[in-house]
Amino acid sequence: MAEHETTGEDVREAHLVTGAATTVEAADVVADGLPPDLDEAVGDGSLAAAVTGEPAAGPPRARRRDLMPSWSPKLVVGLVITGLIVLFAIVVPFFTLDPNSTDYDGLLKPGEQGHLLGTSAIGNDIWAQLAHGARGSLLIGVTVGVIALLLSVVFGIFAGYLGGWTDETLSLITNIMLVIPALPLTIVLAAYSSSRSMWLVAGVLGLTAWTGSAIVLRTQARSLRMRDYVLAARVAGEKSRRIIAVEILPNLLPLVAAQFLFGVIFAILGEAGLSYLGLGPTDAVTWGTMLYQAQQGSALTLGAWWWFVPPGLLIALLGCGLSLVNFAIDEIINPKLRNVPQATRRVRKAREREERAAATTEEAGA
């Protein structure tokens, strides 16, 4: 019944859920191992631990190798972009000016005299705001990601595995939350509180961020529920909680990781939108509050591009990096995405080689 109610913003989720009849089910692939990838070198394991987490039950080495993402260019670029921005958020704020300090000599100037990226209309240093904003935005993003992850595991995996009335109730709540539009709900919730801490904003966003993931996870958990090894664990008298933690969750890890990253992207974009409307955190600098101040200080009409371009650009870059990592995870979950284009490429190369060989023999003959 939940098959075509996934969120519109993300078609990838829609295809994971609705495509069950036409595509390989993600759980099949994850649980049963991937065909070995001969063309690309497989990573050394440190990466897999970071992205997929360590499988809890300690599967044999071959299985662990299969779970690893291969070093596709998408993954490398995605990880590098994300890593650089995280590093920027951690390190740079120690070396900048106070983001709220004002410099009355340099109001609304492009980068010069000790201000790397220039100043805002009230003399804030943009570079300092950008660095501290990175911290704020990332903190909100990760907090929302964690909240959404926990909620989607409860409402998705528990519902899918336990079935029956628990499932009916939990999925009803999920589906109701899914159709209530997220942004208006967060706007309404945020509008009633006059001072908003960063954590309040994160909480409000977290309440609306989990539904899509819950539906994806529920479908997968439902298909894993009837697998032989899960049935065996149940017959052996394992408790449901343990089966979910040890048998189900590890097999869904790539999917869960992808959903977490979606949560982070959703949160950073959501925070930016909320802040742009003046409903962001009042106690912290984020990329969203920077854009809000730029709008309030009419940066657009004054042509102060150095004020409104950098925060949006960083949001876009971070989102892009995380999406690229997600694309790579997608190719693990659904190997057709990786193997089919490779196979076609190989066939085309072989054909070209044949033609070339034919041409050279013709030349030789002539």
**Cβ-based nearer residue to another protein, 35 or 45:** 35
CA distance linking residue 186 with residue 258, whole number of Å = 23
Smallest separation, CB 313 to another protein (Å): 8
Closer to another protein by CB, 7 or 259: give it: 7
Shortest CB 177 distance to another protein, Å: 9
- The counts of H helices and E strands in the chain are 18, 0
Residue 57 CB, nearest approach to another protein (Å) = 30
The two structure tokens encoding residue 78:
């995605």
| CA distances for 182 relative to 186, 209, 270, angstroms | 6, 8, 9
CB of 338 to another protein, least distance (A): 9
Smallest gap, in angstroms, from Cβ of residue 268 to another protein?
9
Q: Pick between residue 46 and residue 194 the one whose CB is nearest to another protein.
A: 194
Query: Helix H segments across the chain?
Result: 11-18, 26-32, 46-51, 61-67, 73-91, 126-152, 159-162, 164-179, 182-191, 198-209, 211-225, 228-235, 240-242, 253-276, 287-296, 299-302, 305-333, 336-365
Which one, 18 or 166, has the nearer CB to another protein?
18
C-beta of residue 42 within 8 angstroms of C-beta of residue 65: yes
Q: Which is nearer to another protein, 81 or 248 (CB)?
A: 81
Q: What angle do CA 33, 39, 40 make, to 5 degrees?
A: 80
Cβ 315 to another protein, closest distance in Å? Answer: 5
The nearer residue to another protein, 148 or 299, going by C-beta atoms, is 299
